[in-house]
Amino acid sequence: MLENLEEYTDKLIEEFEAISKDAERVQRETLKSILEDNASAEYLLNLGLNGKTDPESFKACVPLVTHEDLLPYINRIVDGEKSSILTGKPITHLVLSSGTTKGKSKYIPWSETLLDSVTQILQTAFAFRDRELPIKNGKCLSIVYLSAQSQTKGGLIVGTIASHVVGSKRYFEAMAAIKSEICSPLEVISAPDFQQAMYCHLLCGLIFRDEIQLLDALFIHSFVQVFRTFEQVWEELCNDIREGVLSSRITIPSVRTAMSKILKPDPEKANLIHKICTGLNNWYGVIPELFPNAKYLLAIATGSMEAYLPSVRHYAGELPVVTNDYGASEGMVATNLHPTVPAEFASYTVFPNCGYYEFIPLSEDSSACVDPKPVGLTEVKVGEEYDIVITTSRGLYRYKLGDVVKVTGFYNSTPELKFIRRSGTLLSINIDKNTENDLRLAAVAASKVLAQEKLEVVDYTSHIDLSKEPGHYVIFLEINGKASEEVFGECCNSLEKSFVDPGYTSSRKVNNIDPLELRVIRPGTFQKIFDHFIGMGASATQLKTPRCVPATNTKVIQILNDNVLSKYISTAFN
């Protein structure tokens, strides 16, 4: 490890410049390495690859697949079969996806190669950020929670991507290498109660407030959650710092022991924090006030996470909010090398050595084709949209990730992507097809109506109500205050008018779909949904708000309906 941070970051940038200038060659070498390592895998042998490692043979022999296609093989791995099923070496660990996108968690094979990719992307992204937003030997307030790992009946270790990555020694070494020591003890990060962990994260941040130079989280939603919590507990936190005694709300012995080592009486600091909090106007700019040396906030802000940016910026004031990496539980893809670009407009630069990537065209020209042919990493066209296909060393070959991206440009010879949406239809009753992005834009339209009353949308989700024919969309909004019947009625109409899909508008006009319904729900309802998923074993770090709740998820539907304050029916098509 190089002692000089500037020398070290220059080396990381130089290495990425080299691979990005020759992305096609790097892609061929990456595929060759993956196929050589897994040549003995049953899956590849059955497809007749016979040791070939070139892209042409690979594409000719290996079909495009989804997670469902691989389930028979993954289930054998879960059951403990030790043979080479998807990979040359037996899988010993599994990643458990969050399950909030599709309503059900998935088992995904894990290997140390993913940790290699994460570490490389983490450090390279830091090197590029450090040129414009430099950090010098600071601490990081990292809002991360490690859920407990478990074992399958076959003896495999199961955990979230965060538990495998952040729980590893190499992750902490990577953070130390970029001079960004996490301020919370490991006992806090791995606490079994995320509410207690959240409180202690805040307390650790305040204890080291002058040393905090970076605040990070996996998803940007975590910042909203933690600072809404801060609004409720800040006086208690001040008291802990003033007295040097941890709140009785923290009951986990290991956490209390770890916190006792860093929590000492500091009345001066407690009084200063109290003065800051009482002097703020509706908590605007609380983050830079509490952490005066912070340089920026860092978290994933793609897709539906964009909806939380206004709330985060309210807390962050003038502090930059930077979106970081693009990847999934299945594998890493890209990172943001342009940290000063607003998160909504950020593009992600693909790392050509972290996997083998293909792209299925989704342009109008290709829509008439029954099975459009995927193109390679360097063959994509600027301005076009694609479905991403990845091949990794973990036994995922030509795996359809389920994400739609748009190519915004190239960094040397490797493309830069903007995440557009999850592929597939989110809301559909008749011939209508509305995506997660369409729903987000509808929520943005509603928020503009509410902003006139100085209100905001806290969170949102949707549901297809087919309890009577012909069915209709239900949009649930949690609002941070009260509005008049007229305002909510206008809000409801704005939601419906935002769905401009021709299939939807034509179906509405001939009454093949009933008018959209807005249900305003009690403050705290989404926290109840969050708590429900945590109780079911989901990771607080990875949890995302489900944007469309299926009828089969009766518990979440019940939570939503039990907390409805008022209902409104759209008159937009009357």
Residue 542: count other Cβ atoms within 10 Å of its Cβ: 23
For 322-362, the pLDDT digits (tens) are 998 888 888 889 999 999 999 989 999 999 999 999 999 98
Per-residue b/e over 414-452, b at no fewer than 16 CB within 10 Å?
bbbbbbbbbbeebbbbeebebbbbbbbebbbbbbebbee
The per-residue pLDDT for 34 is 94
The per-residue pLDDT for 119 is 82
The per-residue pLDDT for 550 is 86
Greater model confidence, 307 or 236: 236
pLDDT band at 179 (very low <50, low <70, confident <90, very high): low
The per-residue pLDDT for 407 is 97
- Tell me which DSSP letter residue 65 carries: B
The label of the residue with tokens 């002097």 reads 279
> Residue 288 and residue 231: Cα distance in Å, rounded?
15
For 272-287, the pLDDT digits (tens) are 999 999 999 889 999 9
Q: Is the pLDDT of residue 110 over 90?
A: no
The per-residue pLDDT for 283 is 95
Q: Is the pLDDT of residue 368 over 50?
A: no
% of the chain exceeding 70 in pLDDT: 93
Token pair in block for residue 307: 């909806």
The per-residue pLDDT for 425 is 67
DSSP 148-176: PPEE-TTS-EEE-HHHHHTTSHHHHHHHH
> Residue 547 and residue 424: Cα distance in Å, rounded?
13
Q: Mean pLDDT, to the nearest integer, of 421-438? A: 84
Q: How many CA atoms lie within 13 A of 388 on its CB side?
A: 31
Q: Mean pLDDT, to the nearest integer, of 499-527? A: 91
Q: Is the pLDDT of residue 177 over 70?
A: no
Residue 356: count other Cβ atoms within 10 Å of its Cβ: 27
Closest by CA position to 307, among listed 495, 423, 442: 442
Q: Mean pLDDT, to the nearest integer, of 163-181? A: 67
Q: Mean pLDDT, to the nearest integer, of 218-230? A: 92
Per-residue b/e over 483-521, b at no fewer than 16 CB within 10 Å?
beeebbbbbbbbbbebbebebbbebbeeebbbbbbbbbb
Burial of 239 (0-12, 13-18, 19+ CB in 10 A): middle
Average pLDDT of the residues of the chain: 89
pLDDT band at 269 (very low <50, low <70, confident <90, very high): very high
% of the chain exceeding 90 in pLDDT: 59
Q: Mean pLDDT, to the nearest integer, of 170-192? A: 77
Q: Is the pLDDT of residue 541 over 80?
A: no
> Residue 430 and residue 160: Cα distance in Å, rounded?
37
> Residue 239 and residue 574: Cα distance in Å, rounded?
57
Q: Mean pLDDT, to the nearest integer, of 53-68? A: 95
Closest by CA position to 144, among listed 546, 543, 529, 458: 543
Report angle CA 400, 391, 122 to the nearest 5 degrees: 100
For residue 470, say if its preceding peptide bond is cis, omega within 30 degrees of 0: yes
CA distances, 385 to each of 37, 373, 390, 420, 506 (Å): 32, 14, 16, 8, 26
Residue 164: count other Cβ atoms within 10 Å of its Cβ: 25
Burial of 345 (0-12, 13-18, 19+ CB in 10 A): exposed
- Please tell me whether residue 383 adopts helix, strand or coil conformation: coil
Per-residue b/e over 43-74, b at no fewer than 16 CB within 10 Å?
bbeeeebeebbebeebbebbebeebeebeebb
For 439-467, the pLDDT digits (tens) are 999 999 999 999 888 888 999 999 999 88
The per-residue pLDDT for 358 is 97
- Please tell me whether residue 548 adopts helix, strand or coil conformation: coil
Domain spans of the chain, in order of start: 5-111+327-422, 134-319, 436-569
Q: Is the pLDDT of residue 218 over 60?
A: yes
Token pair in block for residue 121: 């992307």
pLDDT band at 2 (very low <50, low <70, confident <90, very high): very low
